């Protein structure tokens, strides 16, 4: 009987507690005095950071406990509204916000309480406190909801011959949402930019198995920094309206003051650029008088500010004071643009709640992992999102989810994928000649790629007109693993010689980038293993300009390579290579010109066509490379580890050993090298630099042949690779070394620092490049290059000079294309 009574009391009290904890739903629409919706209004339970935001149409939804509750509605440019609500059932409540009236009363800001009415003095006081507020947040934890949406407002009917509306699932007017995604994350932050984000929920329209690319930390923008959005929308970034040098770039106007709900005086300051083409903002900032800190911002960037790819970007940020420190309550990015006939718009919004600004992190809590996506994050169903989504979807977004999710389920079926494959696998002449032909078996994640003839036919003086043809077979798996097999055949019609080989690769660990590959067969290889001239480019040089720049040898080989990270950004790669190597002679001397400057295949004896660079021999070589990027940040997704740009250099050490007497191996040497490489070093408004320093030495050179020498990333063509590690003019072969070497490369991109100040030219958004390179070894002492150039998107033109010691030996233009 007592046991029954206990169970009854537990069940009764449990039911009572459950009823007390029941959450009810408050919904409604927020409008202004004219009935227009107010988007992204911050809604908090008063004196807490529990809340939500309205959507772009002003609709909101909030889950609240039963009883009386005080809600605070705030939005930039509107009076805050505090409402007491008695909630005993699900309820709909529409809210009307009144626009803030900013009056131009005197504002006390002087040190001696002298009244001033100038925006400049308010900004000056704010700048004086900038450093204090920049570092005031020691740390926090919070929950973050993000949503990203991009849509096409108009588009061409065809793009590269393909039906745009069909590919992107647009309506008859070429309109529609092309990306829609939501996330819920736990965000932890500590001073000195330590961030840890755990994405617990992820939803992507049209991809049930996909993971969102939204990242809460991407929405972080701190206007207390002198320069913000550095290397995001342009190379240099943009000057904050409260930067130390803000008065050199901005004009300020006080639009008025207003009292907030806490009795603080808020000044609304208009922000305008002094020069229309400077990298600056326009809009308004709101400053709390007395404490001289930011309350909120509503700022714009345009093409005239130097942004790339989009036309306008609007940033709205609201800050909230918690325990006397300011943290974001909501951040909103709105963008619009037009490119290649596609007119688009979109937004990204972040809503922050449940702050703790006095967290106790243990010593090892933070690591270089910026974001970890929980594997089950994309498995949440529609009921979960209907309950947990703090910002309601618009009608258009709801329709997009319904349509694309249903289509996604259809598209994942074998029947549908097979039907699509039947269309994609149709054969045509263009795919044979110009573009690769890919045969898909999508349901099983298989594909076979056939190389086009355009890339298969080439010419060189060793093989004459030649054909190299390859087929790639790839098998993928759901967890990101895959294996591939690539057989290749090559035949020279000039020397009547056939080569064939096969390469197999297994990518077995996406998280640790684990890979193993095996290759064997015969091939014609470039004497410089760091070759910069492609077969196509070499063919043009030979046939059109009469110059056979590339030199070749033949090898019959077995190669095994494995690589894996045993810690984040700590990669080890080992290679075993066994090969019979044979020098080759020219067999063809044809070009389209009346004369040619063909040289022998031995670069050291260019006039002796019977000279062999080295005797036939066998080499067994083991090599290992250990690479580490200092403080490399990364994102861990269920389908792999993805690295983000590091502020610190990459260190790489390589050891290579030629092993004698192993299966008649004729080589015997030891080579050690080290390299420091930093892709981007940022200098705020002055742009960014790239740097590479390398050195190495043959510790033992008892027996080695030319393919074993240390080679350099050289160039002899008009077209060059703009990677900072490459020389502009250095010969491919003459200055390779068997002893020691030191090289250094540097280039700097000013990001339109100078050209943006020149009328007419500033519209071109051309980036200025300068740089140089240096090499010294026993074979080439004190070789140096200097160059300057101009870049626009992926096109670049340089003019450079090459010096041998102090003697200028070459100069000229170099062209590059590609995103380097």
Rounded Cα gap, residues 407 and 414, in angstroms: 13
- Three-state SS at 234: coil
pLDDT of residue 530: 86
pLDDT of residue 722: 85
Rounded Cα gap, residues 111 and 754, in angstroms: 40
Nearest-5° angle of CA 181, CA 183, CA 185? 160
**144 with 187: CB under 8 angstroms?**
yes
pLDDT of residue 616: 96
Inter-helix orientation angle 395-411/414-424, to 10°:
80
pTM: 0.83
Q: Beta-carbon neighbour count of residue 2 at 10 Å?
A: 6
Residues of the chain with pLDDT under 70: 1-22, 105-117, 160-162, 208-210, 411, 531-532, 594, 818-820
Could you tell me which residues are beta bridge partners of residue 767?
A: 791
- How would you classify the pairing of strands 369-373 and 194-204? parallel
Rounded Cα gap, residues 93 and 298, in angstroms: 27
Rounded Cα gap, residues 546 and 534, in angstroms: 16
C-alpha separations of 347 from 85, 204, 222, 239, 568 in Å: 32, 15, 19, 22, 33
Rounded Cα gap, residues 372 and 294, in angstroms: 31
Please, what is the end-to-end C-alpha distance for the chain in angstroms?
Answer: 81
Q: Beta-carbon neighbour count of residue 432 at 10 Å?
A: 14
Rounded Cα gap, residues 179 and 344, in angstroms: 11
Give the residue from 385, 401, 336 showing the smallest Cα distance to 150.
Answer: 336
Q: Quote the CATH superfamily of domain 21-96.
A: Carboxypeptidase-like, regulatory domain (2.60.40.1120)
Domain with CATH 2.60.40.1120 in the chain: 21-96
Give the residue from 466, 703, 460, 674 showing the smallest Cα distance to 584.
Answer: 460
- Three-state SS at 265: strand
Burial class of residue 312, CB neighbours in 10 A (0-12, 13-18, 19+): middle
Report CA 107 to chain centroid distance, whole Å: 45
């Amino acid at each position: 009987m007592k046991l029954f009574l206990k169970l009854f009391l537990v069940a009764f009290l449990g039911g009572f507690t459950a009823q007390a904890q029941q959450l009810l739903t408050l919904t409604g629409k927020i409008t202004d005095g004219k009935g227009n919706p107010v988007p992204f209004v911050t809604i908090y339970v008063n004196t807490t950071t529990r809340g939500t935001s309205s959507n772009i149409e002003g609709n909101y939804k909030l889950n609240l406990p039963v009883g009386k509750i005080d809600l605070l509605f705030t939005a930039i440019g509107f009076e805050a509204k505090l409402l007491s609500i008695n909630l005993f059932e699900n309820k709909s409540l529409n809210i009307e916000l009144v626009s803030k009236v900013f009056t131009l009363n005197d504002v006390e800001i002087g040190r001696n309480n002298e009244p001033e009415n100038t925006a400049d003095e308010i900004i000056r006081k704010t700048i004086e406190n900038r450093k204090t507020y920049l570092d005031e947040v020691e740390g926090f934890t919070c929950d973050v909801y993000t949503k990203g949406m991009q849509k096409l407002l108009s588009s061409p009917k065809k793009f590269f011959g393909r039906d745009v509306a069909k590919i992107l699932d647009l309506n008859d007017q070429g309109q529609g949402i092309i990306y829609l995604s939501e996330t819920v994350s736990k965000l932890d932050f500590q001073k000195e930019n330590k961030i840890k984000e755990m994405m617990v929920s992820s939803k992507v329209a049209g991809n049930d198995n996909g993971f969102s690319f939204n990242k809460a930390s991407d929405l972080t923008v701190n206007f207390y920094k002198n320069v913000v959005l550095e290397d995001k929308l342009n190379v240099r970034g943009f000057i904050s309206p409260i930067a130390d040098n803000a008065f050199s770039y901005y004009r300020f106007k006080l639009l008025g003051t207003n009292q907030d709900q806490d009795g603080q005086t808020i000044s609304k300051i208009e922000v305008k650029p002094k020069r229309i083409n400077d990298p600056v903002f326009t809009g308004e900032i709101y400053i709390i008088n007395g404490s001289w800190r930011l309350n909120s911002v509503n700022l714009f960037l345009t093409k005239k500010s130097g942004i790339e790819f989009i036309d306008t970007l609007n940033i709205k940020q609201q800050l909230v004071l918690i325990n006397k420190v300011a943290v974001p309550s909501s951040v909103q990015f709105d963008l619009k643009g037009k490119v290649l006939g596609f007119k688009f718009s979109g937004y990204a919004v972040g809503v922050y709640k449940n702050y703790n600004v006095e967290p106790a992190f243990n010593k090892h809590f933070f690591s270089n992992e910026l974001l970890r996506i929980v594997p089950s994050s994309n498995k949440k169903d529609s009921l979960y999102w209907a309950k947990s989504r703090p910002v309601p979807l618009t009608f258009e977004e709801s329709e997009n989810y319904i349509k694309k999710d249903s289509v996604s389920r259809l598209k994942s079926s074998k029947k549908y994928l097979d039907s699509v494959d039947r269309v994609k696998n149709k054969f045509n002449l263009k795919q044979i000649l110009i573009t690769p032909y890919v045969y898909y078996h999508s349901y099983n994640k298989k594909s076979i790629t056939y190389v086009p003839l355009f890339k298969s036919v080439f010419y060189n003086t060793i093989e004459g007109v030649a054909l190299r043809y390859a087929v790639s077979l790839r098998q993928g798996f759901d967890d990101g693993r895959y294996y591939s097999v690539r057989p290749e055949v090559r035949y020279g019609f000039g020397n009547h010689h056939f080569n064939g080989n096969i390469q197999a690769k297994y990518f077995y660990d996406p998280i640790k980038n684990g890979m193993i590959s095996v290759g064997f067969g015969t091939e014609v290889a470039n004497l410089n293993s760091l070759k910069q001239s492609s077969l196509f480019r070499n063919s043009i040089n030979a046939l059109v300009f009469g110059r056979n720049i590339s030199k070749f040898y033949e090898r019959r080989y077995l190669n095994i390579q494995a690589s894996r990270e045993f810690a984040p950004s700590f990669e080890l790669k080992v290679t075993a290579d066994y090969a019979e190597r044979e020098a080759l002679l020219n067999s063809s001397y044809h070009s389209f010109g009346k004369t040619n400057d063909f040289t022998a295949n031995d670069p050291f004896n260019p006039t002796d066509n019977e000279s062999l660079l080295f005797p036939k021999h066998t080499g067994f070589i083991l090599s290992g490379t250990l690479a580490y990027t200092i403080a490399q940040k990364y994102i861990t997704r269920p389908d792999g580890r993805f690295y983000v740009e590091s502020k610190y250099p990459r260190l790489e050490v390589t050891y290579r050993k030629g092993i004698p007497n192993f299966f008649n191996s004729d080589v015997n040497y030891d080579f050690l090298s080290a390299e420091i490489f930093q892709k981007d070093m940022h200098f705020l408004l002055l742009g960014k630099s790239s740097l590479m320093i390398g050195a190495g030495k043959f510790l033992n050179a008892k027996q080695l042949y030319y393919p074993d020498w240390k080679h350099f990333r050289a160039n002899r063509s008009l077209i060059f690779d703009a990677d900072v590690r490459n020389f502009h003019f250095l010969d491919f072969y003459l200055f390779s070394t068997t002893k020691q070497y030191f090289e250094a490369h540097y280039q700097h991109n000013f990001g339109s620092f100078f050209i943006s100040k020149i009328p007419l030219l500033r519209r071109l958004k051309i980036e200025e490049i300068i740089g140089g390179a240096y090499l010294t070894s026993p074979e080439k002492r004190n070789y140096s290059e200097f160059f300057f150039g101009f870049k626009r998107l992926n096109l670049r033109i340089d003019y450079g000079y090459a010096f041998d010691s102090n003697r200028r030996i070459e100069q000229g233009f170099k062209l590059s294309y590609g995103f380097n």
